[in-house]
Amino acid sequence: MSRYIINGGKSLNGEVSIRGAKNASYKQIIASLLSDKVTEIYNIPQISDVKITQSIAESLGSQITRTGEHSLSICTPKFISSTVPHGTGEKSRTSFIFAAPLLARTGIAIIPTPGGDKLGARPLDRLFDCFSTMGISTELKDDLMIFKTNGIKGTHYVFNKPSHTVTEVIIMTAALAKGQSIFENTALEPEIDDLILMLNSMGAKIQRSPENSKTIIVDGVTSLTGTSHQVISDRNEAITFACAALATKGSINILRTDPKIIKTFLDTIEKMGAKIDRGSDEVTVSWVKQLTAVDVETGPEPGFMTDWQAIFSVLLTQAIGVSSIIERVYTSRFQHLQYFEKMGVKTLLFNPKINDPATYYEFNPDTDNPKNFHGVKIYGPVKLKPAQFSISDLRAGACLTLAALTASGESIIDNVEFIERGYEKLADRLCSLGANIKYIKT
């Protein structure tokens, strides 16, 4: 069990560089397995989700060499297994992405059911249904997903709702299919476009339709080659440091990030009263006056990202008035609120009045627990009190780290290995901005 001991109440100021995106890097490692040639991937963050993905890939036959602090060389001449191992596979909630290269090159993929954060049911029915139109069968047996095909074929499929990771899996799978595939109502996240860029550099033929960017056209090819690719910057890291600046009444220059990929977030905090200076590959976020309350709803790109809402909620505790967050993407993503109460925050959970939940929410309403709440009101501003926590979720952990930095006095956060799933050396980088964090690693 690792621990942060945080003495908060100090403004954070300075510069920080953003690492490669967690939600792009490990998926691009998996994408490299579509080829038997060498692929070089740069700007890979040193986080546990990447290490888990690397471990799974090596168990399947990949030869992976670290060529720099943030660079990997990956070659998979042949698969020695079509089974993602238990243990490592169960730790990753997206280990099912390995189905794409396994099916393309071996015709079978056996994968443990997803693990990871407890955010609610994953909409894998959309993947299974699309797979069925591509000549891929799905069998759910005990705690395994078994996919089989005698040959992947092109398809024309319309998703009832967009899904970030499902979109990535189907374009990987279709890259080596026989014939053309057309996928409608796909997700628009920049990490997907970065994956398309990488796959096309490997010889794939993938494009978004000029008429409708939610339509992706894939012309299947017989094989892919290796490539060299640099991972896009991490949007979640960028907004974490932005929130750290505003929550502590400081100013942080965030380097190596494109402000356009966090436009919705920047527009929101600007509306609250933050000062934003945008550059081509950097952005400065500064506290200049008291923030005011705001209402947000999470949603797919270009909406307010669901991964942002827990971290963003720390700002709402410091804003004047009553703010609200409605979570439309996951059935359960307010775990951090139980900790807020210990810090003196007043919140009120509610369910918004929705005429048609099936079209309003991105999750499948029939998978929802009637006890779940999908909205919260946060009353501010509040002087946060230091406290001790034991976390079990990545975003909640990052949220509480910022809350502890905002509170005057000593807070303790246990199980920070969850934070290490998505942030490289977060404590060190916050300390470089003026934070007082003692990191005890066990």
- Identify the pLDDT of residue 115: 54
Q: Which residue shows structure tokens 């089989």?
A: 148
Distance between alpha carbon 245 and the CA centroid of its chain, in Å?
21
Q: Residues 106, 200: one domain?
A: yes
Q: Residues 407, 268: one domain?
A: yes
Q: Residues 291, 174: one domain?
A: no
Q: Residues 275, 181: one domain?
A: no
Domain count, the chain: 2
- Identify the pLDDT of residue 410: 98
Helix-, strand-, coil-residue percentages of the chain, each rounded to 5: 35, 25, 40
Query: Which one, of 297, 300, 367, 377, lies nearest residue 332 by Cα?
Result: 367
Q: Residues 269, 123: one domain?
A: no
Q: Residues 214, 252: one domain?
A: no
For 323, the domain range is 3-19+233-440
Q: Residues 226, 237: one domain?
A: no
Q: Residues 272, 204: one domain?
A: no
Read off the CATH number of the domain in which 429 is found: 3.65.10.10
pTM of the model: 0.93
Is it true that the peptide bond before 302 is cis, omega within 30 degrees of 0? Answer: yes
Give the Cα-Cα-Cα angle 382, 383, 386 (nearest 5 degrees).
Answer: 125
- Identify the pLDDT of residue 89: 57
Q: Which two tokens stand for residue 334?
A: 């307010």
Relative orientation angle of helices 164-175 and 99-106, to the nearest 10 degrees: 20
Q: Residues 168, 243: one domain?
A: no
Q: Residues 262, 410: one domain?
A: yes
Q: Which two tokens stand for residue 194?
A: 């970065």
Q: Residues 7, 64: one domain?
A: no
Domain boundary among 205, 230, 255: 230
| Tens digits of pLDDT across the chain (442 residues) | 899 999 999 999 999 999 999 999 999 999 999 999 999 999 999 999 999 999 999 999 999 999 999 999 999 999 999 999 987 756 666 789 999 999 999 999 999 987 544 434 456 889 999 999 999 999 999 889 999 999 999 999 999 999 999 999 999 999 999 999 999 999 999 999 999 999 999 999 999 999 999 999 999 999 999 999 999 999 999 999 999 999 999 999 999 999 999 999 999 999 999 999 999 999 999 999 999 999 999 999 999 999 999 999 999 999 999 999 999 999 989 989 999 999 999 999 999 999 999 899 998 888 888 899 999 999 999 999 999 999 988 888 999 999 999 999 999 999 999 998 899 999 999 999 999 999 998 7
Rounded distance between C-alpha atoms, residue 320 and residue 255, angstroms: 29
Listed as own residue / partner, the contacts of 260-263 with beta carbons closer than 8 Å and 24 or more positions apart are 261/190, 261/232, 261/233, 261/235, 262/235, 262/238, 263/302
Specify the DSSP element, H or E, that contains 193. Answer: helix 190-201
Domain boundary among 212, 230, 248: 230
* Residue 99: strand, helix, or coil: helix
Q: How many residues make up the chain in this entry? A: 442
Q: Is 344 left (phi over 0), alpha (psi -120 to 50) or beta?
A: left
Q: Residues 162, 73: one domain?
A: yes
What beta strand segments (E) does 155-224 contain? 156-158, 180-184, 205-208, 216-219
Beta bridge partners of 109: 147
Beta bridge partners of 219: 180, 205
